[in-house]
A and B are shown apart, each in its own frame.
Chain A
Amino acid sequence: MNPLLVPFEYAFMQRAFVAAIAVGLLCSVMGTYVVLRKLSFIGDGIAHASFAGIVIAYIRGLDYYVGAAIVAVLTALGIGFVHRRGNISLDTTIGVLFTGAFALGVFLMSRLKNYAVDLQSFLFGDILSVSSKDLLFIGILSLLIALTVVVLFRGLLYTTFDPVVAQASGLHVETIEYVLLVMLALTIIVALQSVGIILVAALLVTPAAAAYQLTKRFTPMMVLAVVLGIASTVGGLYLSYFLRSSSGATIVLLATMLFFSAIGVKHLKSFRSA
């Protein structure tokens, strides 16, 4: 047996690799919009807020991810609504909402007499614990999000580049924005189990930001982001097996290295052409 193929022997590792591919794909596709619309803070905010949903679901005896998804979607819509209708700036809104929701989660959890929830695994993720049922959930959400991106591709692109002109020409900019926020919330929930609340924003931002350095057009940027994203999640998971390190942290570190490599390549290119 080739020692390099050992990680693929175990069923739990196989499930983890499937999850890693799905998470890398989804986060990079959504990350392209996140980077170009400058929404990275929103991703972080939704992830933290979803913690309250996890704790409430635990108390009520519901599935953690259903609780997290409901709170994440409500937070995303709330952020969009306050931003559109309110006179408060977006970063202030998110700063208040997400820390508040996160604090609520910690508060509720601290009042529980004896809790079996592993806080650590929610903060930093545990992709090795992905079950077959989780994979089904990830698969359905991935399909839903991929389908929505295909259907709304042109609308999402136009409203990302120039929402004002898109609206004047008759596109439903507000609806598209809310759909994007809901997709973002669901993507974060899918990624939560793999990399955890603290690191999920990195997976949304870093591969797309790296791709942004190297491309001049939107579709190539998205495709390259997906390649870099899947390379990070699958590669990070693989490396973590041999390094005996946290899979979530290894994934994010690999993505960060790819980002700096992309900046290096970009400078090399401009140096050569100059």
Chain B
Amino acid sequence: MNAQAGDAVKVVNLVVRYDRTLALEGVTLDVHFGEAMGIVGPNGSGKSTLLKSIAGLLTPASGAITVLGAPPKKIPAGSLAYVPQIEAADWSFPATVWDVVAMGRFPRLHFWQHFGEQDRSAVEAALRAVNMYNLRARHIGELSGGQQQRVFVARAIAQRPQLLLLDEPTTGVDAETEEALRRVVRSLVDDGMPVLMTTHDLDRVDEWFDRLLVLDRRVLAIGKPDEVAESGAYASIREHTHTHGHARSA
């Protein structure tokens, strides 16, 4: 995929409310084709809410979102892939690794179309990209957290989307999985894919992302990772995340 004209995502003055709680107030950003943008911020800062709004899963109170040139709920099926946090899924569901990744093809198929050779090769390529092809016949309940995360990313890749949204794919995964995911994301970005991803891990943001957005219900900073770091916008978050990270690994 080559870089296309215009922005992949354009968000202007986005306000999202849950009942009376304000989750996002006046968020503005744009994501270009062929760039990975990281979203960092403390817990409850609205990172997941921002992704869900762009994915068309939430209706904003006000503001405008344009995804691939259209409002989120109007884009063609299969053009956006969203990878949620793995805790949200039912891992006792009767499905193998292959079955779940194959679902990534479903939005691209009409009911009269067979799950064909093209679909199978997309699933296989996605599984190989995250080093899960050898485990394709395993039941999803028998996977580690890192493997489950890779299955979800593989499902998104198999969809061959034009925009990829990832919600904390590196939280709680082993170092090997994190590196595998980083390589997959970087190679998609190099091919022109726009990627928007939330993360808790601030240590390697410069290896993951082209730009970084610091969020705490509003945009605190946006720019190249080193510029954002120098601005001191996430000093308080870094402190918070480090304690969080240690607590998790203990």
Closest chain-B Cβ to A213's Cβ sits at a distance in Å of 10
Are the C-beta atoms of B75 and A158 separated by less than 8 Å? no
| Complex contact A218–B94 (CB within 8 A) | yes
B111, A167: Cβ atoms under 8 Å? no
The CA of A170 and the CA of B84, in the complex, are separated in Å by 15
Verify if B82 is at the interface (C-beta below 8 Å from A). yes
A31 to B232, CA, bound (A): 56
Judged by a CB distance under 8 angstroms, whether A162 is at the interface is yes
A154 touches B106 (CB 8 A): yes
Cα A161 to Cα B100 in complex, Å, equals: 9
Of chain B, the residue at the smallest CB distance from A162 is: B89
Residue A171 is within 8 A (CB to CB) of chain B in the complex = yes
Which residue of the partner chain B has the closest CB to A153?
Answer: B111
In the complex the two chains form, is B106's CB within 8 Å of A171's CB? Answer: yes
Contact of B103 among A150, A157, A217, A221 (CB under 8 A): A157
Number of A-B contacts (CB under 8 A): 84
Confirm or deny: B76 has a beta carbon within 8 angstroms of a beta carbon on chain A. yes
A168 touches B80 (CB 8 A): yes
Q: How far is the CB of A161 from chain B (nearest CB, A)?
A: 5
Contacts of A160 in B (CB 8 A): 93
Closest to B137 in A: A216
Contacts A217-B96, A221-B94 given: A164-B88 contact, CB under 8 Å? Answer: yes
Q: Which of B57, B95, B96 contacts A168 (CB 8 A)?
A: B57
Q: Is B182 an interface residue (CB 8 A)?
A: no
Complex CA–CA separation, A148 to B103 (angstroms): 19
Interface size class of B (residues with CB under 8 A): 20 to 34
Contacting residues of chain A (141-196) with chain B, CB-CB under 8 angstroms: 150-155, 157-158, 160-162, 164-171
A side interface size, CB within 8 A? 27
Tell me the smallest distance from the CB of B54 to a CB of chain A, in Å: 9
Q: Which of A152, A167, A221 contacts B56 (CB 8 A)?
A: A167
CB-based nearest A residue for B88 = A164
Q: Mark A43-73, 1 if CB is under 8 A from B, else 0.
A: 0000000000000000000000000000000
A212 at the A/B interface (Cβ < 8 Å)?
A: yes
Task: Determine if A18 is an interface residue (Cβ-Cβ < 8 Å).
Answer: no
Residues of A with C-beta under 8 A to B94: 36, 212, 215-218, 220-221
- Interchain residue pairs with CB less than 8 A apart (26): A36-B90, A152-B111, A157-B103, A158-B106, A161-B90, A161-B93, A161-B103, A162-B84, A162-B90, A164-B84, A168-B81, A168-B82, A168-B165, A169-B77, A169-B80, A169-B82, A169-B106, A169-B159, A170-B80, A170-B107, A171-B77, A171-B107, A217-B94, A218-B94, A218-B99, A221-B94
Interface of B toward A, CB cutoff 8 Å = 55-57, 75-84, 88-90, 93-96, 99-100, 103-104, 106-107, 109, 111, 139, 155, 159, 161, 165
Q: Which residues of A contact B (CB under 8 A)?
A: 36, 150-155, 157-158, 160-162, 164-171, 212, 215-218, 220-221
State the 9 A-B residue pairs at the shortest beta-carbon distance, nearest first.
A170-B77, A168-B82, A168-B55, A169-B107, A154-B106, A216-B139, A221-B94, A151-B111, A170-B107
